[in-house]
């Protein structure tokens, strides 16, 4: 996943799982032609949520949801049934090739995460085609970028133009690592053959370790996993899975010390076993932590 889509999924996961402060949402004062924007945040929900529904009047409904920083494109249809499963969705549009994504299906709704590539299929007006289990669904959409901006404003997140205007400089990370500098904090990522590795801290300065794969598209759920750092005994941990990311919080100082010097990380997840070769992880974590703390001090309370 490209940087912006990966970053949105990362911070949505951290907000929801670790109870970071919820952004202040505001009502959308600029209605979007063809779309209805509704705030759907429930009482006690950690993350603000809003949905834009395309008003095409057909039997199948197209929606865009913002859950914190995570954007989702969904189709609802009685044909999907109530069973919870995963399917492959193919998107197409005039002048563009087919794009495949793994989708989550449950309760008559089929959903995919909107990353940069999916977003490119939503930029222009015109028919959008989605193929699911050999069945084609089409929606003659318009003003989709404005609908995305509307749901982001609704949950208190910056629009695409706002993010481009901020142009925050990247913080310094070790060679090979990438920096993610976002409104809520900072993270460092090292790409890997099987999984990418990400490190950051939460609002209690505890270490967060994440693994990511472009072809994951998981339900937001708590999972049991094991993590082995180099040749040390595997750690049995509880973690979280959301979209294309798996996350664990390392609260034990000894585990964090081992992680900082790690060369190989081995994950055993419900979906399989994955390994990542890493280097300079301690320096990358320090850089992300320092950037996050600096942002925290500069954010008005």
pLDDT in tens, 47-67: 678 999 998 757 789 999 988
**Domain shared by 173 and 276, yes or no:** yes
What CATH number does residue 235 fall under? Answer: 2.60.40
Per-residue pLDDT for 26 more than 60? no
Domain count, the chain: 2
For the segment 223-227, the average pLDDT, to the nearest whole number, is 95
> Are 198 and 271 in a shared domain?
yes
Same domain, 61 and 180: no
Strand order in the sheet with 196-201: 177-181, 186-190, 196-201, 207-212, 245-250, 235-243, 218-229, 264-269, 272-277
Expressed as residue numbers, the domain containing 172 is 168-298
Hey, which of 104-108, 214-218, 230-234 has the most confident mean pLDDT?
Answer: 230-234
**Share above pLDDT 90 across residues of the chain, in percent, rounded to a whole number:** 51
145 and 75 both lie in a single domain: yes
Distance of CA 193 to the CA centre of its chain: 20
For residues 201 and 133, membership in a common domain is answered with no
For 257-268, letters b (16+ CB in 10 Å) and e give eebbebeebebe
Q: Which pLDDT band, with edges at 50, 70 and 90, does 182 fall under?
A: low
Is the model's pLDDT at 167 over the cut of 90? no
Question: Exposure string (b/e) for 83-95, b if CB count within 10 Å is 16 or more?
Answer: eeeeeebebbbee
Among residues 127, 156, 185, the one where a domain terminates is 156
Question: Predicted confidence band at 22 (pLDDT cuts at 50, 70, 90)?
Answer: very low
Residue 12 in any domain: the answer is no
Q: Is residue 10 in a domain?
A: no
Mean pLDDT of the chain: 84
* pLDDT grade for 257, boundaries at 50, 70 and 90: very high
Residue 17 lies in a domain: no
Contact 100, 92 (CB under 8 A): no
- Close Cβ partners of 224 (under 8 Å, ≥ 6 residues apart): 236, 237, 238, 239, 270
b/e per residue 7-27 (b: at least 16 CB within 10 A): bbbbbbbbbbbbebebbebee
Distances in whole angstroms, Cα of residue 285 to Cα of each of 121, 150, 271, 281, 282: 35, 34, 26, 6, 5
pLDDT for residue 190 is more than 60: yes
What letter would DSSP give residue 155?
A: T
Shared domain check, 285 and 203: yes
Same domain, 293 and 185: yes
Residues 174 and 145 in one domain: no
In terms of domains, do 251 and 145 share one? no
248: in domain: yes
Q: Is residue 9 part of a domain?
A: no
Taking 80 as the threshold, does the pLDDT of residue 260 lie above it? Answer: yes
Looking at per-residue pLDDT, the higher value among 183 and 268 belongs to: 268
Same domain, 223 and 262: yes
Of the spans 39-53, 55-69, 167-181, 198-212, which averages the highest pLDDT? 198-212
Cβ-contact 68, 23 below 8 angstroms:
yes
Structural domain includes residue 263: yes
Neighbours of 299 (CB within 10 A): 11
What percentage of the chain reaches a pLDDT higher than 70? 83
18 pLDDT above the threshold of 50: no
Q: Residues 144-159: pLDDT tens digits?
A: 999 999 999 998 887 8
Of the pLDDT bands very low, low, confident and very high (cuts 50, 70, 90), residue 7 is very low
Mean pLDDT, range 34-59, rounded to an integer: 80
Q: Does residue 173 share a domain with residue 131?
A: no
Whether residue 122 lies inside any domain: the answer is: yes
Q: Are strands 135-141 and 126-132 parallel, antiparallel or unpaired?
A: antiparallel
State residue 297's pLDDT score: 77
What's the pLDDT at 55? Answer: 84
pLDDT tops 60 at residue 3: no
Residues 185 and 70 in one domain: no
Of 156, 184, 202, which closes a domain? Answer: 156
Q: Is residue 247 included in any domain, yes or no? A: yes
Q: What is the pLDDT of residue 184?
A: 65
Q: Of 156, 186, 216, at which residue does a domain stop?
A: 156
What pLDDT score does 16 carry? Answer: 43
């Amino acid at each position: 996943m490209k940087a912006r889509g990966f970053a949105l999924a990362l911070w949505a996961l951290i907000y929801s799982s670790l109870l970071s402060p919820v952004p202040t949402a505001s009502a959308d004062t600029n209605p979007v032609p063809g779309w209805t924007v509704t705030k759907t945040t429930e009482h006690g929900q950690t993350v603000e949520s809003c949905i834009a529904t395309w008003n095409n009047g057909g039997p199948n409904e197209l929606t865009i949801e913002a859950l914190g920083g995570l954007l989702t494109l969904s189709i609802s249809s009685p044909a999907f049934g109530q069973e919870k499963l995963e399917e492959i969705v193919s998107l197409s549009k005039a002048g563009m090739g087919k794009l495949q994504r793994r989708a989550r299906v449950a309760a008559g709704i089929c959903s995919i995460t909107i990353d940069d590539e999916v977003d490119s299929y939503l930029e222009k007006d015109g028919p959008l085609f989605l193929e699911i289990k050999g069945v084609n669904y089409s929606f003659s959409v318009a003003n989709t970028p404005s609908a995305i901006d509307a749901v982001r404003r609704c949950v208190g997140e910056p629009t695409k133009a706002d993010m481009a205007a901020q142009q925050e400089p990247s913080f310094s990370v070790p060679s090979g690592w990438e920096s993610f500098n976002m409104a809520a904090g900072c993270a460092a990522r090292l790409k890997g053959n099987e999984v990418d590795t990400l490190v950051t801290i939460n609002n209690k300065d505890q270490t967060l370790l994440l693994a990511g794969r472009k072809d994951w598209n998981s339900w937001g759920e708590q999972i049991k996993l094991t993590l082995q750092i180099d040749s040390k005994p595997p750690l049995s941990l509880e973690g979280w899975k959301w979209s294309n990311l798996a996350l664990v919080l390392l609260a034990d100082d000894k585990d964090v010390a081992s992680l900082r010097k790690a060369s190989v990380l081995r994950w055993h997840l419900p979906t399989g076993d994955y390994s990542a070769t890493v280097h300079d992880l301690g320096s990358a974590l320090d850089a992300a932590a320092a950037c996050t703390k600096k942002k925290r001090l500069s954010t008005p309370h």
